[in-house]
Amino acid sequence: MRTIKLINDNWIFTKKGESTNVNLPHTWNGVDGQDGGNDYYRGTCIYEKEISADEMPNGDEIYIQLDGVNSSSTVYFNGRKIAQHHGGYSTFRARLEDVKENNTIKVEVDNSPNDTVYPQVADFTFYGGIYRDVKLIGVAKKHFDLDYYGAPGIMVTPIVKDGKAEITVQAFCDAKVLFEITDGGNVICSSEAEGKNPAAIFTLDNPHLWDGVKDPYLYSASAKLVDGENTVDEIGTRFGIRSFEIDAQKGFILNGREYPLRGVSRHQDRPEIGNALLPEHHEEDIDLICEMGANTIRLAHYQHNQYFYDLCDEKGLIVWAEIPYISKHMPNGRENTKQQMTELICQCYNHPSIVTWGLSNEITMNGAADPTLIENHKMLNDLCHSLDKTRPTTMATVTMCGMDEEINKISDILSYNHYFGWYGGNVSMYGPWFDEFHKKYPNKPIGISEYGCEALNWHTSEPAQGDYTEEYQAYYHEELIKQIGQRPYLWATHVWNMFDFAADARSEGGENGMNHKGLVSFDRKYKKDAFYAYKAWLSDEPVLHICSKRYINRTEDVTKVTVYSNQDEVELFANGESVGSQKKGAYPFFYFEVKNVGKTELVAKAGNLTDNATINKVDTPDESYIMKEEGAVINWFEIDTPTGYCSVNDTIGDIMNCFMGKAALLIVLLRYIVPSLKKGSSTDDDNSNGKKEKKKKAEVMGFSINKTMIELAKGFSVKRVFMMIGGQFTKEDILNINKLLNKVKKPR
């Protein structure tokens, strides 16, 4: 019978000629991949382990299984190369031959840049290392297939129809197999089959359905390989029986009822250990996601640990699974996308939580018209349907990719990554944009695959786009919740992101190397206010939360206090006196005006729930609440912002709301922007006569400038535009522009 042995302990790790002992899981980028600078080590390191014959598992044949090695790896056994694998997020195996009394396993791991293995360009750190488990598997000569794309060797396909479930169980071998289905440990049906990849079909009357977060019921299936009178190998899997469809008008439908998917995306990394997670880390993540009330997770942007998919099965969370075909299309990477998609589907097929396979994410960042890009997606789409006839394909496309682009027509369903209100535009743009898409393509299911904004421990009473305050993030998500709630046709919505995560190239928000769009901090210790906005909206658990608890010192005489609650009525007290009581409206957000005098103890009450906070009146702003950008040309305190007049802190759209504002921006454009652009790279192209001629088509990163992009630009502050252009403008330039704008009255 099959035996499995974990061999995570006591490996010799060598980097740049220096060796140390490590236990797996392990990454060499746990520190330098999170501290900013885009300078983390990307190269080849070596892991080696000595293992005696006595330490091997019993079996006529022995395989090594590596569950995650980023991103390319070559495996040697006793000096002989036995495997090479490209792709850092999936399982692969190799057979160990010629086992000796003493043996050496060596794994060369390489996460260096190349143009063939995805991902290469993306907004997250590509941690190098053997960051998941390594196992040895001992099996008899006759055994279930261990050589096919890291798959488990058993595939279960349940189809629900007319109150019955037809369950096909297939095993991958060439032998006689005994199939069994168990319910709570009891065998409820069994059958034998033999031949090449034998299968059995079972029918269950009135099956217990896997029904999302309310009732994620699981059955088990097993396959026993019979050789003569003996069972020589056995494998098994859990599975769930459910039906679903995705309707362009009604959204997601589970087991015949409308089931709106509202949830988050997840990156898996953590401080100092990167992706080298232990089971307790996965368990903490799933518990936090469930506490928030989410019923869906987009597992971005790669195949996650099988243990996490197991947890999603157990908790009833609906999953979008995808490969790291992201940001930059590489013509030489076509075969790698095919391999990674095959591994994803074959390894994850049995998970009832997974309902769709994601083809790519923001892959049109450099334009959507490349013929090899289109062909790659059509190939992947066909591949998914050939490997799995039960699940649709999807794709996460990006704002700059117009609604009418051919690539948007390839997948069965579609979602968009939009950051209106953060990277340009404003939060009010979401609803109208999706309404326009829905009207234009009424038969195409559409969802939101990413939306969010960043927040650290910065605070303000006047939140503004781009300020990185917890208050703006809370406001942003309040507005998104309202717009999502009014549009049931959205098949799924996924906040970007559940947790802050490392992106070593980033330098934003006052902390380098991080993306701070999480609803929960990177270390999972702090739940931001926006987390509670979703908990109050989605969770059945009673919720009462006063926002801005970390924002104590305030200068205004009357301050706004926001409370989130799913209770029918909330009352707020200031130093024991009632500020007022409010009934719950359509959304679980309550807003109170509180006099700010001295020290005020706030208490919110709703039914049996209470929550507390403190505010304190101060004469001058507490600078510890205000982001100071490291290396910034100009900081907040250097900019004059006279009441009623414009400044570089205002958005282009707001300034354009009056004639004088438009005139001022035209002066800025002609005096500063145009001369700066002329210093940059030429936009000339060679024509057929070898002469230079200007491009007539306005483009940004390969995209034709369209209405959406223009509206996005209106959402940027003037200061942010200058910062994004970078290096072209001095502080004196920006202050002079600010003086010009200070003469423009804001429209009433």
Please answer whether residues 654 and 741 qualify as being in contact, where contact means their C-beta atoms are separated by less than 8 angstroms: no
Of the chain, the percentage scoring pLDDT greater than 90 comes to 82
How large is the average pLDDT for residues 344-357?
98
Sign of the alpha-carbon dihedral angle for 89, 95, 101, 102: negative
- Token pair, residue 31, equals 């520190």
Angle at 149 between CA 144 and CA 151, to 5 degrees: 50
Please answer whether residues 42 and 170 qualify as being in contact, where contact means their C-beta atoms are separated by less than 8 angstroms: no
Res 403: pLDDT: 96
Res 697: pLDDT: 41
Res 425: pLDDT: 84
Strands of the sheet with 244-247, listed across from one edge: 244-247, 251-254, 257-258
Largest Cα–Cα distance of the chain, in whole Å? 93
pTM, rounded to two decimals: 0.90
Tokens 């069972």, residue located? 231
Quick one: residue 275, left, alpha or beta (phi over 0 = left, psi -120 to 50 = alpha)?
A: alpha
d(C-alpha 470, C-alpha 458), whole Å: 6
Question: In this structure, what DSSP letter does residue 652 have?
Answer: H
- Spatial neighbors of 480 by CB under 8 A, at least 6 apart, are 427, 430, 451
Sign of the alpha-carbon dihedral angle for 720, 723, 724, 729: positive
Three-class SS of residue 545? strand
Of the chain, the percentage scoring pLDDT greater than 70 comes to 93
d(C-alpha 422, C-alpha 465), whole Å: 6
* pLDDT score of 729 more than 80: no
- Looking at per-residue pLDDT, the higher value among 718 and 537 belongs to 537
pLDDT digits (tens, 9 = 90+) for 315-338: 999 999 999 999 999 999 999 999
Please answer whether residues 236 and 222 qualify as being in contact, where contact means their C-beta atoms are separated by less than 8 angstroms: yes
- Token pair, residue 419, equals 């950051």
d(C-alpha 311, C-alpha 283), whole Å: 8
Return contacts of 442-446, CB within 8 angstroms, 24+ apart.
442/248, 442/249, 443/248, 444/248, 444/413, 444/414, 445/246, 445/247, 445/248, 445/251, 445/412, 445/413, 445/414, 445/489, 445/491, 446/248, 446/413, 446/414, 446/415, 446/416, 446/489, 446/490, 446/491
- Spatial neighbors of 228 by CB under 8 A, at least 6 apart, are none
Instruction: Quote the mean pLDDT of the chain.
Output: 93
> Which has the minimum average pLDDT: 123-137, 425-439, 659-673, 715-729?
715-729
pLDDT digits (tens, 9 = 90+) for 698-723: 444 445 556 666 777 777 788 877 76
How large is the average pLDDT for residues 147-160?
98
- Spatial neighbors of 386 by CB under 8 A, at least 6 apart, are none
Alpha-carbon 641 to chain mean position: 38
Sign of the alpha-carbon dihedral angle for 131, 271, 500, 538: positive
The CA-based dihedral angle spanning residues 570, 526, 505, 422, taken in that order and rounded to the nearest 10 degrees: 0
For strand 393-398 and strand 414-417, is the pairing parallel, antiparallel, or unpaired?
A: parallel
d(C-alpha 30, C-alpha 46), whole Å: 16
pLDDT digits (tens, 9 = 90+) for 425-454: 889 999 999 999 999 999 999 999 999 999
% helix, strand, coil for the chain, step of 5: 20, 35, 40
User: In what helix (H) or strand (E) does residue 290 lie, and over which residues does it extend?
Assistant: helix 279-292
d(C-alpha 104, C-alpha 100), whole Å: 9
Res 681: pLDDT: 41
Nearest to 621 by CA among 453, 466, 458, 455: 458
Band (pLDDT 50/70/90 cuts) for residue 685 is very low
> Which has the minimum average pLDDT: 118-127, 347-356, 656-665?
656-665
Burial code of 579-592, b = ≥16 C-beta within 10 A, e = fewer? beebebeebbbbeb
- Spatial neighbors of 163 by CB under 8 A, at least 6 apart, are 205, 206
Judge residue 741's burial from the number of C-beta atoms within 10 Å of its C-beta, 0-12 exposed, 13-18 middle, 19 or more buried: buried
* pLDDT score of 629 more than 70: no
* pLDDT score of 512 more than 60: yes
- Spatial neighbors of 84 by CB under 8 A, at least 6 apart, are 72, 73, 74, 75
Band (pLDDT 50/70/90 cuts) for residue 664 is confident
Res 748: pLDDT: 75
d(C-alpha 558, C-alpha 511), whole Å: 32
Distances in whole angstroms, Cα of residue 252 to Cα of each of 65, 242, 349, 413, 447: 37, 13, 20, 11, 10
Res 677: pLDDT: 53
> Which has the minimum average pLDDT: 178-182, 300-304, 463-467, 480-484?
463-467
d(C-alpha 271, C-alpha 450), whole Å: 23
> Which has the minimum average pLDDT: 38-47, 118-127, 646-655, 662-671?
662-671
Please answer whether residues 120 and 112 qualify as being in contact, where contact means their C-beta atoms are separated by less than 8 angstroms: no
* pLDDT score of 240 more than 90: yes
Instruction: Name the residues annotated as catalytic.
Output: 362
- Spatial neighbors of 203 by CB under 8 A, at least 6 apart, are 164, 165, 166, 167
Band (pLDDT 50/70/90 cuts) for residue 636 is low
Taking residue 747's Cβ as centre, other Cβ atoms within 10 Å add up to 12
Three-class SS of residue 575? coil
Distances in whole angstroms, Cα of residue 269 to Cα of each of 503, 523, 531: 10, 9, 19
* pLDDT score of 396 more than 80: yes
Res 64: pLDDT: 98
